[in-house]
Amino acid sequence: MTRSGVPSTSDVLHALGLVSFERAGSAFHRVGDVDPAFALSFPAATTTEVDLPEIFPFLEVFQEQAEALWAERAVGSVSSPSWSQRDANGVDIELRAIAAYIDSRELLMIESKGVRVDERQTLQRAREARLVHEQLERTTDALEESEKRYRALTMDLENRVEERTSELRRLASQLVDAEREERRRIAKGLHDRLGQSLAVVKLGLSSLQAEANLSGSFVPQVLDSIDSAIGYTRDLTFELGSPVLYELGLAPALEELGRRVSERAGFTVEVSIDEPAPVSENSSVLLYESVRELLHNCEKHSLAECVTVSSRIQAGDDDGEFFVIVVHDDGCGFDPESVGTESVKDGFGLHSLKERLEYSGGACSIVSFPSGGTTVELSVVTATSTTARRRSS
């Protein structure tokens, strides 16, 4: 469109459906826009500089008439006969050439004549379908790439969470081990120093009482206080860390624990443990502390009359074995699903107990029914299985 609003020659030719080229020397330059359908049929004709006879061989015959017209330098036009030519999509197209001299310009126009309306629509739909298919493939590729990135990010996040969880568990285990070692050190100090000192004081005071005949004085009351202090020290020593566990092993330590809980709680504790227990020292300490936690829970909540503590060897995967301690009470029971929630007091103790056993390669299973008692199974890998696994790895 010209500035004055009058259509240009290029606009008029394009509106007529003609694809126009202007000769400049020995070459042809495209004039104006190209019809999209024509561009799809003859893509080589869409460039700025075009070798028309190479694209449309029939023009070699028609070009002599065009040259004669252009040589006259007068406004006019001449048309060629129609010819059929196969396009880029393998469809035979009927074409016609028009040579013109307009506005001192040597023009050569190509008109598409032979494609029927239904063929055009079919071709257009086919081309549109191809474009849609290509777009779908690009979209699918982009989605697959996004899914790969999402899976990679998810896997990386899961790995990080697993590593962080493992690190937190390891730190928690180290903290528990450090606390256990400190409790053991304090218990040993109470037993070896304070307990023996109190025993010496009691022995000396008893000797003094006998020699000085102080039976009617305050000495008996002091001796009773010393006995209470010795008993409290002994109980505190066992609460902090049983010396029997480290000196004699798991079975005697649990028997001593059962006897003490029976005397204090008022219910019977029957202990039957294989001796010696086929587990490492760390596993023995973990099992002892777990059974002590369970007996304390029985004392506080179960209303039991009898608690049994027994053991067995259980086969595991990969030819491994587990040492299992079973703690059963005939008390009121509870809902195992509530372990670790606020609905059960001391439930977090059981939850922590399960986590510590699982982190050590063991397990804790709880079976309980309201008014039906409770059975808890504590399992750890036997020492022989642990050694075999280390050798195989």
Q: What CATH number has the domain bearing residue 270?
A: 3.30.565.10
Enclosing domain of residue 285 = 249-393
Domain end position, chosen among 82, 115, 148: 115
Q: What is the pLDDT of residue 266?
A: 83
- pLDDT bucket at 303, cuts 50 / 70 / 90: confident
C-alpha 50/C-alpha 356 separation (Å) is: 82
How large is the greatest C-alpha to C-alpha distance in the chain, in angstroms? Answer: 159
Q: What is the pLDDT of residue 116?
A: 46
pTM of the model: 0.52
- pLDDT bucket at 219, cuts 50 / 70 / 90: confident
In 3D space, the residue among 105, 84, 101 whose CA is nearest the CA of residue 93 turns out to be 84
Residue 307 above 90 pLDDT?
A: yes
Domain end position, chosen among 94, 115, 136: 115
Q: Are 345 and 335 in contact (CB under 8 A)?
A: no
Among 29-33, 68-72, 381-385, the minimum mean pLDDT is found in 381-385
Q: What is the pLDDT of residue 356?
A: 82
Compare 205 and 249 and report the one with higher pLDDT: 249
Alpha helix ranges (H) inside the chain? 9-15, 36-41, 52-55, 59-72, 117-189, 196-212, 219-240, 243-247, 250-265, 281-297, 347-359, 383-392
Residue 360 above 70 pLDDT?
A: yes
Q: What is the pLDDT of residue 319?
A: 63
Instruction: Give the DSSP per-residue string, 74-140.
Output: SSEEEEPPPEEEE-TTS-EEEEEEEEEEETTEEEEEEEE----HHHHHHHHHHHHHHHHHHHHHHHH
Environment class of 357 (CB within 10 Å of its CB; exposed 0-12, middle 13-18, buried 19+): buried
Residue 216 above 80 pLDDT?
A: no
In a domain, 164, yes or no: no
C-alpha 385/C-alpha 366 separation (Å) is: 24
Give how far Cα 4 sits from Cα of 8, 9, 267, 313, Å: 10, 14, 113, 104
In a domain, 228, yes or no: no
C-alpha 78/C-alpha 82 separation (Å) is: 13
Residue 365 above 70 pLDDT?
A: yes
Compare 242 and 270 and report the one with higher pLDDT: 270
- pLDDT bucket at 111, cuts 50 / 70 / 90: confident
Q: What CATH number has the domain bearing residue 103?
A: 3.30.450
Compare 204 and 366 and report the one with higher pLDDT: 366
pLDDT tens track for 160-207: 998 887 787 777 777 767 877 787 788 777 777 777 888 888 888 777
In a domain, 236, yes or no: no
CB atoms inside a 10 Å sphere around CB 371: 8
pLDDT tens track for 9-46: 555 565 566 788 898 877 888 887 777 888 888 888 88
Number of separate domains in the chain: 2
Residue 328 above 90 pLDDT?
A: yes
- pLDDT bucket at 133, cuts 50 / 70 / 90: confident
In 3D space, the residue among 24, 122, 44 whose CA is nearest the CA of residue 88 turns out to be 44
C-alpha 255/C-alpha 309 separation (Å) is: 9
pLDDT, the chain, mean:
80
Q: What is the pLDDT of residue 120?
A: 56
In a domain, 35, yes or no: yes
Domain end position, chosen among 56, 84, 115: 115
Q: What is the pLDDT of residue 390?
A: 47
Among 32-46, 104-118, 223-237, 311-325, the minimum mean pLDDT is found in 104-118
Residue 391 above 50 pLDDT?
A: no
In a domain, 231, yes or no: no
Residue 70 above 80 pLDDT?
A: yes
Give how far Cα 79 sits from Cα of 45, 74, 96, 102, Å: 19, 16, 7, 15
